[in-house]
Structure 1
Amino acid sequence: MTLKQLEAFVKIANNRSFTLAAKELFITQPTVSAYINNLEEELGVRLFDRTTKEVQLSDEGDRIYLYAKEILELADKIQNSFSMDEDNKVRQVVISTSSIPGQFLVPEILSAFKKKFPDVDFRVRETDSAGVVEDITNHMADIGIAGTEINSNKCNFIPFYDDELILVTENSEKYRKIKERETNLNWIKNEDFIMRESGSGTRKEAIKLLESQGISQDELKVSATFGKTVTVINSVINGLGIAMMSRLAVSGELERGELLEFKISKEGGYRKLYLVTEKKNRLSDGCRDLMGVIAKLYKISIKEI
């Protein structure tokens, strides 16, 4: 067993791809495959389940991943202790994020972090909230940011941001009149409704907020379901239907008058955005530093640091 084999194994696990792992390691894909074949033969196990779409860790590979990652981190520490001062070593943090915080908060967070810790590199994986939990539990990411709390006994969910969800419609005479006369949201039962995909935190929290106002999901006329936030926004602007959206995602369209907003209630409707960590896995120094920056940026206390 060699460090090169373990490095190839971890790169494939992180990228879910032999091709991307080879590119990051600056070697050929056949060489990466040879490393894994030799490692599998030596260990007597199959490390990956290969499909036509992606590569996933097998149960045996999942067990080995954390050990391999720790070995590589220890090897880096040994090398860094002789090649450079501890304060100058390069670290990497892999972040898995759902779409809303990924598009509208992560750039601000990383900008603030880089000013304080310029030696840390980042790789960001964008998915939905369910995908964030999957990435964390499958060791594909070091830390996650999700738009809802997923039922999981393997993850910690640490609230750090209050995100307002609002109902948006096209800016037409019809909806301007509705905005003037209606005092509740019961009228939306007669409208075509656009939803995010099933794993979306925005979708889950929107349904909860509507239910708090006496409107169940079954009463909605769902006309379309999309995976991308921008697709939902453009569909509403073009009159395909109405939707529940994060204010973060539509602030520009509201300012330009392309959309109308309807508050969920007089006080507004809010959902928490969460930092996601694995319960059994000790956070790296880079992750702890990142959480410290987030705590300061959004003026919260994170006891888990």
Structure 2
Amino acid sequence: MDQMLTVFVAVAERGNFTRAAEEMHMTQPAVSQYIQTLERTLGTKLLDRSNKYVRLNKAGEIVYHHAREILGLYTRMQGLVDDLMHTASGNLNIGASYTFGEYVLPRLIAHLRKQFPRIQPSITIGNTKEIAELVAGHELDLGVVEGEFSHEKLEIGHLAEDSMVVIVSAGHPLSRQARWTVKDLSEETWIIREKGSGTREAAEKMFAEFQFYPASIMEFGSTQIIKESVEAGIGISLLSSWAIRKELSLGTLRTIQIEGLPFVRKFSVIKQAAPFQTKAMEIFMEILRDHAAQTENEGSR
């Protein structure tokens, strides 16, 4: 059954029997046979087919949704059994929200790979809701997300805190001032993330707390572009301290100290509420905890 489901998922996602066959190193007739056998087993057609397309019908959508979850559970089961006989190895599917995934996770993965080269990590970046649903659907082993929330299928634990700081270019007049006023901030061009971003949320919260809204705003969809724009003197911004470590060490960006800042965002780790977990997952959870403890120690100095 697992092979039938694997073939079915490949056809559904590629929308084409030929492409699915090529990906799975099978012949097209063999792929067609698996689909026909699955449809006979379930007693219904799952795909609408024509010369131009292959699409899921209503029954197919139900089977596709559950097939992905079943295959995720099957892979997890295999990993747990393998762990009884071997050292930590296998796939580890990690999800993360943007800031943690882009600026913290790569260092942790490098550490993991150095110590345990047989573990094969993959990373999915998305917003908190997207990552939570993928973990709940067994498509990811664990996730690191912003904020605190509840989910009936997930085990959620506090991981770390992230400071949001105001940044300016090294040559900006504000970087040389001892004091700043709300008027100073309101007159600057602010470069902020798009709506729906956690970083944008923090900026909006800051504007509300200080009771001002910038006269000039530029909205960019990438933290990297915002950093480079601030470096170039286009404007100022509010970003995660995790995201600007390199620029601070190089001296291309500076933070300005303002009463009431930095804002603190909480990050949580989410995983299936299951009695067993793979060695690979146990090891990575330990790496996450060590990083969180180190970050907390650095913040208290």
Equivalent residue pairs, number: 280
Q: What SS class does the counterpart of residue 5 from structure 2 fall into? A: helix
Please name the residue that 1:62 is paired with: 65
Question: Given that residues 196 and 228 in structure 1 are in contact (C-alpha distance below 8 angstroms), is that contact kept between their aligned partners in structure 2?
Answer: yes
Letter in 1 for 2:246: G
**1:284 is the counterpart of 2:269:** no
Q: What SS class does the counterpart of residue 111 from structure 1 fall into? A: helix
Please name the residue that 1:71 is paired with: 74
Please name the residue that 1:191 is paired with: 188
Residue-by-residue CA offset, 1:2-33 (whole Å, 9 max, x unaligned):
x32333456789xx6679x9599552695897
Task: Find 1:200's aligned residue among 189, 197, 200.
Answer: 197
Q: What SS class does the counterpart of residue 181 from structure 1 fall into? A: coil
Residue-by-residue CA offset, 1:47-84 (whole Å, 9 max, x unaligned):
99xxx9xx9x9444323433233335556777x59xxx
Question: Given that residues 95 and 125 in structure 1 are in contact (C-alpha distance below 8 angstroms), is that contact kept between their aligned partners in structure 2?
Answer: yes
Question: Given that residues 156 and 269 in structure 2 are in contact (C-alpha distance below 8 angstroms), is that contact kept between their aligned partners in structure 1?
Answer: yes
How many angstroms does 1:167 deviate by? 0.8
Letter in 2 for 1:65: R
Please name the residue that 1:100 is paired with: 99
Please name the residue that 1:263 is paired with: 257
Question: Given that residues 95 and 143 in structure 1 are in contact (C-alpha distance below 8 angstroms), is that contact kept between their aligned partners in structure 2?
Answer: yes
Q: Normalising by structure 2, what TM-score?
A: 0.72
Please name the residue that 1:120 is paired with: 119
Q: What SS class does the counterpart of residue 293 from structure 2 fall into? A: coil
Residue-by-residue CA offset, 1:93-127 (whole Å, 9 max, x unaligned):
11112222223221232233335544321111123
**1:214 is the counterpart of 2:214:** no
Paired with 2:252 and 2:80, the residues of 1 have a C-alpha distance of: 53
Please name the residue that 1:232 is paired with: 226
Question: Given that residues 97 and 126 in structure 2 are in contact (C-alpha distance below 8 angstroms), is that contact kept between their aligned partners in structure 1?
Answer: yes
Question: Given that residues 130 and 200 in structure 1 are in contact (C-alpha distance below 8 angstroms), is that contact kept between their aligned partners in structure 2?
Answer: no
Q: Normalising by structure 1, what TM-score?
A: 0.71
How many angstroms does 1:152 deviate by? 5.1
Structure 1 pair 71/227, CA: closer, same or farther in 2 (3 Å)? same
Q: Gaps spanning 5+ residues in structure 2: where?
A: 295-301
Question: Given that residues 160 and 274 in structure 1 are in contact (C-alpha distance below 8 angstroms), is that contact kept between their aligned partners in structure 2?
Answer: yes
Question: Given that residues 80 and 277 in structure 2 are in contact (C-alpha distance below 8 angstroms), is that contact kept between their aligned partners in structure 1?
Answer: no
Question: Given that residues 148 and 202 in structure 1 are in contact (C-alpha distance below 8 angstroms), is that contact kept between their aligned partners in structure 2?
Answer: no
How many angstroms does 1:156 deviate by? 4.2
Residue-by-residue CA offset, 1:205-238 (whole Å, 9 max, x unaligned):
3434554x4346xx24462322221111112223
Please name the residue that 1:243 is paired with: 237
Q: What SS class does the counterpart of residue 284 from structure 1 fall into? A: coil
